[in-house]
Amino acid sequence: KQEVTQIPAALSVPEGENLVLNCSFTDSAIYNLQWFRQDPGKGLTSLLLIQSSQREQTSGRLNASLDKSSGRSTLYIAASQPGDSATYLCAVISWGSQGNLIFGKGTKLSVKP
Amino acid sequence: GAGVSQSPSNKVTEKGKDVELRCDPISGHTALYWYRQSLGQGLEFLIYFQGNSAPDKSGLPSDRFSAERTGGSVSTLTIQRTQQEDSAVYLCASTNRNTIYFGEGSWLTVV
């Protein structure tokens, strides 16, 4: 059974810092991995999608990497801003169960001005 | 529409009543998901529809929960005889087999 873990559960950093959020999964047979952002009281916004054949994806100040063999993904945020404050969720779809996107519990990020 | 639309956005209901939550996916998306997010908890998979295939209902927590998807588009999640533990945000998502797009959710409170 696929399990997704995110560390740390919460993170507070001063504005301008570069930071890394971690995601690990127990079954390396994944179809893809996706990082989402959730603002309080809102739905989820997709940030980056990494297919199983890819090693990383970049969008602006965000870079996500994927290492299937070790069951890990990282989300790197460069030059953090207060507007980056949100909960970041990692989710995987496993081969054979494409209907079931398994989520981690998220990392709550606070960027202080 | 431009995004996944859910209604109602907020619903307060009395324990024991039935509720229906609606999801309008992005036009052309063949796959549709329902998730539940309780306060301070992660997202819990409920059900998945893909085209004309039989839905994956493995996440439905009890037989009080059911969902249908008419004409391969709009979906309705029905909760019968609601209980206080059903209070949560119910999130719908659709996909074109790659990026998954979520709606804003339906916030259900059972009193």
In this prediction, residues A42-61 reach a mean pLDDT of 93
- Give the model's pLDDT for residue A82: 97
- Give the model's pLDDT for residue A99: 67
- Give the model's pLDDT for residue A98: 62
Distance to chain B for A32, nearest Cα, Å: 9
- Give the model's pLDDT for residue A101: 84
Dump pLDDT digits (tens) for A74-83: 999 999 999 9
Mean pLDDT computed over every residue of chain A: 93
- Give the model's pLDDT for residue B1: 52
d(CA A17, CA A13): 7
At residue B86, what are phi and psi to the nearest 5 degrees?
-80, -10
In this prediction, residues A47-70 reach a mean pLDDT of 95
Helix (H, G, I), strand (E, B) or coil at A61: coil
CA-nearest residue to A31 within chain B is: B98
Concatenated DSSP letters of B50-85? ETTSPPB-TT--STTEEEEEGGGS-EEEEE-S--GG
Residue A104 has pLDDT above 80, yes or no: yes
Query: C-alpha dihedral over B90, B95, B101, B102, to 10 degrees?
Result: 0
- Give the model's pLDDT for residue A97: 66
CA-nearest residue to A52 within chain B is: B98
d(CA B47, CA B29): 16
Residues of chain B with pLDDT under 50: none
Dump pLDDT digits (tens) for A89-102: 999 988 766 667 88
Distance to chain A for B48, nearest Cα, Å: 5
At residue B70, what are phi and psi to the nearest 5 degrees?
-90, 135
Number of A to B CB contacts under 8 A, please give it. 49
